[in-house]
Amino acid sequence: MTEALTSHAIVHLSIQAVDAQTLPVLVELENPDKPVISISVARFARYLQLQGNASYESISKTVVAIGKLRDYYKLVSHEITIVEGSFRSFLEDFLAAFDHGTVLGWRPASNQQYLSTRAAVCDYVKFVMDSSPSRLDAVDTQFVSACRNSWVSLAHAEKSLLFHTKSRSRKKSHGRKRQAVGLKQYKPFPPNFVQELIDTTRNPRDKLIFAMLAYGGRRLSELLHLFLQDVTSKGRELHVQLMHPSQSPMKWTNEAHSQVQGTRREYLRAKFDLLPRTEHGAKRTAVGWKGIKFDDEAARSSDVYWIRDGGQYLLHLHRLYLHGARAATPKCNHPYYFVGENGEPLTVKALEKQFKLACRRLERKGGITLSGYGLHSLRHFYGFYCADVLKADLLLIQKWMGHMQVSSTAVYAHISPATAAKVLKRAEVLAQIEGRTGLNQVERERVASEFADIALQPLPDALKLGSTAFGQLDTKRLTRKAS
Please state which of the ranges 143-147, 261-265, 322-326 shows the lowest mean pLDDT: 143-147
Same-domain status, 273 and 236: yes
Is residue 387 one of the residues assigned to a domain?
no
Supply the range of the domain harboring residue 216.
191-377
Please state which of the ranges 101-105, 306-310, 424-428 shows the lowest mean pLDDT: 424-428
Q: Are strands 8-14 and 22-28 parallel, antiparallel or unpaired?
A: antiparallel
CA–CA gap between residue 318 and residue 205 (Å, rounded): 8
The total of structural domains in the chain comes to 2
Average pLDDT for 76-99 = 70
Same-domain status, 308 and 365: yes
Contacts 24+ apart (CB under 8 A), 360-363: 361/200, 361/201, 362/193, 362/196, 362/197, 362/200
Domain final residue pick, 377, 395, 416: 377
Please state which of the ranges 69-73, 332-336, 444-448 shows the lowest mean pLDDT: 444-448
The pLDDT tens digits for 162-185 are 444 444 444 443 344 444 444 344
CA–CA gap between residue 114 and residue 241 (Å, rounded): 39
Does pLDDT of 272 surpass 80?
Answer: yes
320 touches 209 (CB < 8 A): no
Is residue 331 one of the residues assigned to a domain?
yes
Please state which of the ranges 32-41, 294-303, 315-324 shows the lowest mean pLDDT: 32-41
Is residue 427 one of the residues assigned to a domain?
no
Is residue 37 one of the residues assigned to a domain?
yes
Same-domain status, 150 and 240: no
56 touches 63 (CB < 8 A): no
Say what the pLDDT of residue 146 is.
Answer: 81
DSSP character at residue 180: P
Same-domain status, 64 and 203: no
Same-domain status, 107 and 219: no
Domain final residue pick, 326, 347, 377: 377
CA–CA gap between residue 211 and residue 315 (Å, rounded): 11
Same-domain status, 230 and 136: no
Same-domain status, 164 and 197: no
The pLDDT tens digits for 365-374 are 888 889 889 9
Same-domain status, 81 and 197: no
